């Protein structure tokens, strides 16, 4: 059994409005096939499309306020109602209380303790890793969960050696934004196939991208559509290379944002969770909120 958690920060289920919601406007054949031909919108119900179960997932967790990254990510990785425990939705970076909860146990530490191999598969730029190391930059909740489990964040070397992918999936941002001319740039099909291959080296892999949330905060519909269409094409490559009997792919998010570009804030919307693979039948019924994902994945590993 293996599991890949494919985490897209800040995507929720919004209205069928192509002027405000890139999930309504973009051409997303792979995503929409996973949800039975429906777009990923608030009107799309829980359903099994034959290869995946699509689950509108509660990110509010009974706590007032707009869901935030630190508590949402910590809920996903620990299975605990972290916003309820600390009394608020908190983010973007975890405070002392959230860090303590992550250190008490998260998917990485629980699975490592069972002798299973866990990894992050998204590479981080050299200056970013150096700033984390020096304490000049705070770790996100996802990064802190890996840190307390001694799971390294992949580096530029890992990206170059195709042991990790870029948060933009293809790697072109490392050339255009970071001005690193010698990193590999993949086609979407290649990136998806590489993700499948890397996942086979571990029992549990986590690929996280922050770009969806960043685009939401900037309210850039054109960029949002382009990035979702890129994700769709990468997912097509991943699903081509993925054998449904080998494990599960879980796509999820921590809170809404990108699906409502009428404002720059997070939303109260449910987020999409999609469970792909034959073993989806063992866990999908357990999942209706962010806190259900970690227990479901742990149960898969016995």
The residues that touch Zn ion, with contacts defined as CB under 5 A, are 9-10, 69, 213, 254
Q: State which residue, 44 or 69, has the beta carbon closest to Zn ion.
A: 69
Least distance to Zn ion from the beta carbon of 244, Å? 29
Q: State which residue, 9 or 232, has the beta carbon closest to Zn ion.
A: 9
Q: State which residue, 90 or 204, has the beta carbon closest to Zn ion.
A: 90
Give the other-Cβ count within 10 Å of 302's Cβ.
6
The candidate with the shortest Cα–Cα distance to 36, out of 25, 58, 52, 59, is 52
Q: Tokens 């489990």 appear where? A: 149
Q: State which residue, 9 or 158, has the beta carbon closest to Zn ion.
A: 9
Q: State which residue, 213 or 260, has the beta carbon closest to Zn ion.
A: 213
Least distance to Zn ion from the beta carbon of 9, Å? 4
Least distance to Zn ion from the beta carbon of 196, Å? 25
Least distance to Zn ion from the beta carbon of 155, Å? 23
Provide the edge-to-edge strand list for the sheet that holds 118-120.
47-48, 52-57, 271-276, 247-252, 2-8, 204-209, 118-120
CA 194/CA 237 separation, integer angstroms? 9
Range 122-150 burial, b when 16+ CB lie within 10 A, else e: bbbbeebbeebeeeeeebbbbbbbbbbbe
* Phi, psi dihedrals of residue 298, rounded to the nearest 5°: -60, -40
Least distance to Zn ion from the beta carbon of 261, Å? 16
Q: State which residue, 117 or 265, has the beta carbon closest to Zn ion.
A: 265
Q: State which residue, 193 or 251, has the beta carbon closest to Zn ion.
A: 251
Pair of tokens at residue 221: 């519909």
* Strand spans (E) along 85-170: 118-120
- Give the relative orientation of helices 293-300 and 69-78 as an angle to the nearest 10 degrees: 30
CA 119/CA 107 separation, integer angstroms? 11
- Position closest to Zn ion via CB: 69
Radius of gyration of the chain (CA): 18
Answer whether 258's CB lies under 8 Å from 224's CB: yes
Least distance to Zn ion from the beta carbon of 116, Å? 26
Least distance to Zn ion from the beta carbon of 164, Å? 21
The candidate with the shortest Cα–Cα distance to 288, out of 30, 62, 103, is 62
Q: State which residue, 9 or 292, has the beta carbon closest to Zn ion.
A: 9
Least distance to Zn ion from the beta carbon of 206, Å? 14
């Amino acid at each position: 059994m293996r599991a890949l958690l494919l985490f897209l920060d800040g995507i929720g289920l919004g209205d069928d409005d192509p002027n405000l919601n890139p999930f309504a406007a973009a051409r997303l054949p792979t995503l929409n096939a996973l949800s039975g031909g429906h777009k990923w919108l608030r009107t799309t119900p829980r359903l099994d499309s034959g290869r995946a179960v699509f689950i509108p997932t509660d990110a509010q967790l009974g706590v007032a306020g707009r869901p935030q990254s630190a508590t949402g990510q910590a809920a996903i990785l620990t299975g605990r109602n972290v916003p309820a425990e600390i009394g608020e939705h908190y983010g973007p970076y975890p405070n002392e209380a959230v860090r303590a909860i992550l250190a008490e146990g998260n998917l990485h530490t629980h699975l490592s303790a069972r002798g299973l191999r866990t990894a992050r598969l998204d590479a981080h730029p050299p200056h970013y890793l150096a700033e984390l190391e020096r304490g000049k930059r705070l770790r996100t909740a996802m990064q802190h969960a890996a840190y307390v489990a001694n799971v390294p964040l992949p580096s530029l070397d890992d990206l170059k050696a195709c042991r990790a992918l870029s948060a933009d999936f293809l790697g072109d941002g490392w050339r255009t934004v970071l001005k690193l001319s010698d990193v590999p740039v993949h086609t979407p099909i290649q990136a998806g196939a590489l993700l499948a291959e890397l996942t086979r080296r571990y029992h549990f892999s986590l690929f996280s991208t922050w770009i969806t949330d960043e685009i939401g905060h900037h309210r850039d519909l054109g960029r949002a559509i382009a990035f979702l269409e890129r994700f769709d094409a990468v997912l097509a490559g991943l699903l081509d290379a993925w054998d449904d009997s080998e494990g599960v792919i879980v796509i999820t998010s921590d809170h809404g944002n990108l699906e409502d570009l009428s404002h720059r804030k997070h939303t109260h919307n449910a987020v999409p969770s999609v469970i792909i693979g034959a073993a989806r039948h063992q866990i999908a019924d357990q999942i209706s909120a962010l806190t259900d994902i970690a227990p479901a994945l742990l149960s898969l590993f016995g």
